[in-house]
Structure formats: C-alpha cells, structure tokens
Amino acid sequence: MKQFLAILILALMASASLRAQEITAGLSSNEAQVGEPIQLVVTVRGGRGASVPETLSVNGLHITLFGRSTQFEMRNLTMTSTATYTYRVVPQFEGEFTIPSFDVTLDGKKYPTQAMRLSVSGSATIPQVPSLPQNAPPLPQGIPSGQVAGTSQSGRPYFGELILSKKSAYVGEVVPIELRFYFNARVGGEVGERPGFSGEGFTVQKFSNGVKREQVVNGSNYVVFSFKSSITPAKSGEIEIPAAFLEARLRVPGKVPQGFDDFFSQMIPQGMFNETQDVKIETVPQTLEVTALPKDGRPDDFSGAVGKFTMNASVSPKKASGGEPVTMRVTVAGQGNFEGMSAPVLTGDEGWRTYPPSDKFRATDEVGFTGEKSYEFPIIARQDQTRTPGVRFSYFNPSTGKYATLTQDPLPVDAKAGSSPAATAAAPTTAQQSAPPAAATPAVTPDITAMAGGASSWTSLIFRREFLAANAVLALTWLALVAAFSFRRFSASAVGRSLARRKLAARALAGLRGTEPDAFYGEVSRFLALHFNVPDQHAALAARIAALPPETQAPLRAALDRLAESKFAAGGAPAPAAADRDSLIATLKTLRHEK
C-alpha cells in the first residue's frame, strides 16, 4: 500500500507542469533615512535555478544580496515554485535615487526588472521593523510546527506590528502611524479590507488602502500588508494606544493521511493537504506620552494649529468698482493638524467689509498629514482702498516647543467704495416703433342676387343685416389696431414705464411675505431697484438709500449688508427672523408714499 501511494505521488509530481514564469521586483519602502536599511525583493514564480546579481551599483546606495529562499506548492495537479531573492539597501546620503533595471537569468533567458525610485532624507519617517518581535503569537491551531518552514522561534506564521512615528507628542499634534501584518510565505490566504482600530483620548484618521510586499525577517520570507493612518491626542498624560487587529483566512497545512511514513511525508508538495482557518491577528498595545501646549508665549489669535507651516496670499481681481467684492486667497501649507486648525486672521481691515472664508484642503500624502489648506476671504471696500488687509496666522511648532506667527503684508489693489459713487439712473430706452399702417380694405360689391330675398327684395342695402355685419367687423378691426397702437405708444412713454414699474414694485412688495427665507433679501433688493428705478446693484441702491430719512436708512442698509453676506460669505447669511421680516416690510411700505 505504501509503495503504491509513493508511486502515485511521484507520478503526479512528474506529470505536474510549472506555471508560466513571472518575475517581479519591489522595495519594502519608497522612502528612507540616511543609514536606514530597507529591502529590495525579487520574486521569481514558475521557474527554478534563477540567477541574479550579487550586488547592484548605484551611487549613494549600498545594495547587496543577503537572502534567498524557494518554496513549492501543488494546486490542481499543477506544481508552482516561487523563489525569493532579498537585497539589503542602505542609503549613504540624502537625495532622489533610481535603481535601474537589472537582468534575472532563468532557463538561459534574461528577464529585465522594472526600475525603482527611492527618496532619502534626514527628516523623521516611520521606522522600519528589522526583526520579528519577541512576543509573536503562537502557531495557529492545527499547524504542526514541523510542517511549516521557518516556524521556529524566529519565524512565526503570522504577527502584527503597530508602529508610532514618535513616542511623545503634544495635544493636537498629528502622529503618523503604520500597521503591518506579517504572514509567513509558506502560509497562503487572504486578508480583510481594513484593520480594526479604536481607542480613547485620541482621534484617528481613515486608514489608507493596504499595500502588499514581500520581506525577509530573521531569514524567513514574509508577505507584509501595510496600512497607514495618523492619530491626534486630545488630552495630556500617558495615553494607551490599544491593539489593532486584522482578520484573515489562511490556508494552512493539514494532517498527512495515515499510511505515510516520515520518508514519504517529506515528498508531499506544499499545499496538497491544505486546510482553511479563520484567524485574527493583533498588534501589541503601546503608550504615547502627551504634553499639554504651553501657556507661555501663546499668541492671542492662536486657534489650535499644531505643526510646521508656511503661508502665502494673493488677491483677485486687483481692480474692483464700487460694491464689487475682491477675494483674498490665503494658503497654509506644511505638516500638521489641518482638520483642527482655524482660518488665519485679517489685520488692518477697518476700511473693508469682510465675510467668513470658505476653505479647501488638498493632501499630499496618504493620511492627510502633509498638504495645503486654502482660505478665500470675500471683502468689499467701505472706502476707496489701494491695499488689502494684512494676514496673520499663529501655530505651535512641536519640534521647537514654541509658538510661531506667520504674517503677510497688505497686497496692492484698486477697490472703490461700495456706497460712494452716485448711481445715475439710466432710463431704459425703448425704440419708438410705429404701428404698421392698416391694410387697405378693398371695395366690396355685394352680389344682390345672393342676398336674402333675392332679386325680388326691395330693402335698401344700408339696412340689410349682411351689410351691417360686414361693416361692424371692419370697425372692430380698426378700433383694435388703433388701441394696440395707442397702448404701445403709451407703454413706451415715461408715464407708461413709470406705471408699469410701480405695478411690478407693488407685486414684489406684496409677495415678500411668501418668499423663502434664503431668497428674502434678494427680493427686497429687487423691490428697491424697481421703486427707485435704478439698477439692482449695491452701489446704486446705497446711493438712493443715503437720501432717505435716518430712521428709514438703517433697516435698508442692514438689508443690503445681509444680501451681500448671503452672496459672498461661506455658508451664506442666517435666515431672517419673522419679526425682522415684518419690521422690514413695514418700512418698505412707507416708501410707497414717497414723492
């Protein structure tokens, strides 16, 4: 029986074919520090006996081959071999490097790898994990330690790592983190889409999509899934960062059927008797020492920004007529808590009417730690202005432990005051169009024999009904043409235009009570434009309101300010209260008696 099974296995192995050849190469990280080792992993699938260079020559990088391994797996009577070659890459100075393509020789043919880029700097980055932690989890149930290569104390089948970019931070400081989950390459399977992670005393950003790579840890091949995010501590003191977890479904070696002795067990291809098992991989909890922001030296306008930032500003348009807004665009860029910061402060803005800004953030990394946030301030000149307000932005720099303030001097601009120019009411011009002349009516010669009574009738023609009806139609047509011509001339006259405008104004005033709150001030502005017979513009209306009695001016000016706020302020203006609407409508009704 044993001999028969052994012959059967050898026959299956002999008939199994290798998969199509596939060669990939990749870096364990595309960013590193000077002197920080990373790994370059070359994976050869579907072939055996590949030849790779022992060293790679790149100026500024020391690259040497230090590990290789091969594994076999049987699936659906097809044997797959995977060879992994691991290089150690040590950056020697800062800069941007390109590791060029190099050849991998397999079965007498050369296969070029793709070129890879590496960014090396002296700034703090998330550290790499060079070795397996001492508290790696035990073997999953059902995996005999003798059947998984590398499952000794230095090569567990799976484990997780929670990596903090720093061990101490300030309240409000963004701390990048990375979760790494390692799986021995001899254990296949699939992992969940996102890790589970939460805790108290800090906020956490959404994790980036998982990145898969291969890495050698203590001489054993591992498949690594990496997820990046950031946390922001909300209180001072020692904060516990709890364990994160990732669920996975593994294909682990099952038990060898009875009847196989140790000799034949060694000949069984990996994967021939696999079993499926659901596992939950957890990281080790850590602590973060959090310090409160100092009170000494805190600027009055500090609003919670923590990080390293720069600031610049621009204005558009550079020239504006009366009542037209200009936009100050202020951009804060760098690293820090962009979600927790408030807008910069405008200084020297007494001659301007300013509105709350809108903001937009653009991240330049995976977790929103670096990027730029732009604020757009709509401003309208109260008096003629040649310079915009200045800008000030205060933040706390965790690297120096001190507060810093960025300033921007006023920018040149040519903006006219919103209420200074007297609007000249340009009466709408309507071309005097003459009504087309009435068409000449041809003479009618009635057919007497066709009329009622025939030839025997002796009724006079002017008294016959047919004659009267025909002339009545002609008279009505003539009167309609005369009325239309007169109405057109009257509508084009100053009196006609004034009556039409007053009628529209009355309708607009009557409809104010049923207007939606967000459109109320716009309808008020339309009524005022109709009433004063001026363009519906801030400057023109402000000039006419300035001529009214003081008790009437105040509510109307306030209405124009609310309208401007609804147009230019981020989020619009608050909806008017019912009492405010009624009071303003009562003021508008008094304007109808104005001479």
In one-letter notation, the amino acid at residue 252 is V
Last residue of a domain, one of 125, 147, 177: 125
Higher pLDDT among residues 199 and 252, named by residue: 199
Q: Are 139 and 38 in a shared domain?
A: no
One domain, residues 317 and 389: yes
pLDDT band at 269 (very low <50, low <70, confident <90, very high): low
| Residue 245 pLDDT exceeds 80 | yes
Q: Grade residue 6 by pLDDT with cuts at 50, 70 and 90.
A: low
Higher per-residue pLDDT: 430 or 223: 223
175, 397, 564 from 238: Cα distances, Å = 15, 21, 49
**Per-residue pLDDT, 102:** 92
Residue 463 lies in a domain: no
Same structural domain, 186 and 79: no
The per-residue pLDDT for 9 is 54
- pLDDT higher for 142 or 482? 482
Last residue of a domain, one of 415, 437, 460: 415
Q: What is the pLDDT of residue 146?
A: 32
Q: Please state the rounded mean pLDDT for residues 26-38.
A: 84
For residue 552, being part of any structural domain is answered with yes
Please provide the size of the chain in residues: 595
Q: pLDDT per residue over 300-337, tens digit each?
A: 999 999 999 999 999 999 999 988 999 999 999 999 99
Q: Is residue 422 part of a domain?
A: no
Q: Are residues 303 and 380 both part of a single domain?
A: yes
Q: Give the pLDDT confidence score for residue 200 in this predicted structure.
A: 92
In tens, the pLDDT along 104-148 reads 988 888 889 989 989 898 754 444 443 444 444 444 443 333 333
**Residue range of the domain that includes 82:** 1-125
Handedness of CA 492, 498, 500, 504 (dihedral sign): positive
196 in the same domain as 169: yes
Q: What pLDDT is stored for residue 440 in this prediction?
A: 42
Summarised one tens digit per residue, pLDDT across range 430-460 is: 334 444 444 444 444 444 333 333 333 334 4
Name the nearest CA neighbour of 46 among 11, 72, 13: 72
The string over 216-241, giving b where at least 16 C-beta atoms fall within 10 Å of a residue's C-beta and e elsewhere, is bbeebbbbbbbbbbbbbbeeeeebeb
pLDDT of residue 486: 76
Question: Is the per-residue pLDDT at 186 higher than 50?
Answer: yes
| pLDDT tens per residue across span 42-101 | 888 776 678 889 899 999 999 998 777 766 565 555 656 778 888 889 998 999 999 999
Number of domains in the chain: 4
pTM listed for this prediction: 0.56
Instruction: Evaluate if residue 423 carries a pLDDT over 50.
Output: no
Q: For position 343, which CATH number holds?
A: 2.60.40
State the chain's mean pLDDT as an integer.
78
- How does DSSP classify residue 452? T
